[in-house]
């Protein structure tokens, strides 16, 4: 199913010049490659719904901008950035901007509440990029960054704890839309997590590669 995904040129130029470069300053898990992937997956899922593709594009582009303020509450800061960016009023009404801000706030994987709109569900699912190597690599990088004193065994345990909490069966990560290709990838990754020896070896191999 394919619809017209043409984005207003002026909006695209603004986002590419003023918003996307911000990701170059973020941590390894949230740089330009990440936001580009979220935009692309958001636009692909938007094909299945009656939504404004310009809103979808902007939401995906802004979803992690709040990391510039604070990583733990970045989704809330991202929503504030959407509301305060007067340039967006060239293309969107106040009502649309509020929907966009809420969608950005609702995208975080640890949120237990269902996103308030289809826009929030789209960007939330697009943000769940399920690739085993990428997930483990980012998890190990985060553990190493926040626990520089930790040895390999400690990093393995920290990484495994995070994978269990977020990605394993019963973890807090969930998908809201049936069109998300990541849902099947998650099921496959969960099988790897179940094999405790295999996942520990994998984490250790990633750790060694990052040294």
Q: Are residues 113 and 178 in the same domain?
A: no
Interval 148-168 mean pLDDT: 95
Q: Are residues 24 and 89 in the same domain?
A: yes
* Residue numbers of the domain that contains 104: 9-127
Q: Are residues 105 and 155 in the same domain?
A: no
Q: What percent of the chain has pLDDT over 70?
A: 96
Q: What is the dihedral of CA 197, 158, 169, 188, to 10 degrees?
A: -60
pTM as predicted:
0.77
pLDDT value at 147 more than 80: yes
Final residue of a domain: which of 99, 127, 155?
127
Q: Are residues 153 and 137 in the same domain?
A: yes
pLDDT value at 5 more than 80: no
pLDDT value at 18 more than 60: yes
Final residue of a domain: which of 127, 159, 182?
127
Summary mean pLDDT of the chain: 91
Q: Are residues 99 and 120 in the same domain?
A: yes
Q: Are residues 18 and 121 in the same domain?
A: yes
Query: Can you give the pLDDT at residue 139?
Result: 94
pLDDT in tens, 105-126: 998 866 778 999 999 999 999 9
pLDDT in tens, 42-71: 999 999 999 999 999 999 999 999 998 988
Look at residue 3 and tell me if it is in a domain.
no
pLDDT value at 8 more than 90: yes
> Nearest to residue 51, comparing CAs of 105, 115, 109, 112?
115
Give the chain as a 3 state SS string. Answer: CCCCCCCCHHHHHHHHHHHHHHHHHCCHHHCHHHHHHHHHHHHHHHCCCCCCHHHHHHHHHHCCHHHHCCCCCHHHHHHHHHHHCHHHHHCCCHHHHHHHHHHHHCCCCCCCCCCCCHHHHHHHHHHCCCCHHHHHHHHHHHHHHHCCCCCHHHHHHHHHHHHHHHCCCCCCCCCCCCCCCHHHHHHHHHHHHHCHHHHHHHHHHHHHHHC
Tokens of 157: 């345990």
Query: Can you give the pLDDT at residue 30?
Result: 78
Q: Are residues 120 and 159 in the same domain?
A: no
Evaluate whether 57 touches 41 at the Cβ level (below 8 Å). Answer: no
pLDDT value at 135 more than 70: yes
pLDDT in tens, 73-82: 898 999 999 9
Look at residue 85 and tell me if it is in a domain.
yes
> In sequence order, which residues have a C-beta less than 8 Å from that of residue 164 and are 6 or more positions away?
171, 193
Query: Can you give the pLDDT at residue 2?
Result: 44
CA Rg value for the chain? 18
Query: Can you give the pLDDT at residue 110?
Result: 66
Q: Are residues 70 and 136 in the same domain?
A: no
Final residue of a domain: which of 127, 148, 169?
127
> Nearest to residue 203, comparing CAs of 164, 157, 145?
157
Q: Are residues 162 and 83 in the same domain?
A: no
Q: What domain count does the chain have?
A: 2
Q: Are residues 73 and 174 in the same domain?
A: no
Lowest mean pLDDT among 1-10, 160-169, 189-198: 1-10
Tokens of 82: 């959407």
């Amino acid at each position: 199913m394919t619809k017209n995904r043409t984005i207003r040129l002026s909006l695209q130029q603004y986002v590419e010049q003023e918003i996307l470069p911000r990701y170059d300053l973020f941590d390894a898990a949230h740089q330009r490659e990440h936001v580009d992937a979220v935009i692309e997956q958001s636009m692909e899922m938007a094909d299945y719904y009656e939504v404004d593709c310009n809103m979808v594009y902007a939401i995906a582009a802004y979803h992690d901008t709040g990391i510039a303020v604070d990583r733990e509450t970045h989704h809330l800061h991202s929503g504030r950035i959407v509301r305060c960016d007067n340039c967006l009023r060239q293309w969107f009404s106040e009502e649309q901007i509020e929907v966009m801000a809420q969608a950005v706030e609702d995208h975080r994987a640890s949120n237990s509440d269902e996103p308030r709109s289809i826009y929030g569900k789209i960007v939330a699912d697009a943000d769940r990029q399920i690739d085993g190597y990428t997930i483990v690599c980012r998890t190990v990088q985060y553990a190493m960054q926040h626990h520089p004193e930790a040895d390999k065994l400690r990093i393995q345990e920290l990484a495994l704890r995070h994978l269990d909490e977020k990605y394993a069966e019963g973890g807090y990560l969930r998908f809201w839309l049936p069109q998300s290709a990541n849902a099947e990838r998650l099921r496959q990754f969960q099988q790897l997590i179940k094999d405790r020896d295999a996942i520990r070896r994998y984490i250790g191999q990633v750790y060694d590669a990052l040294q």
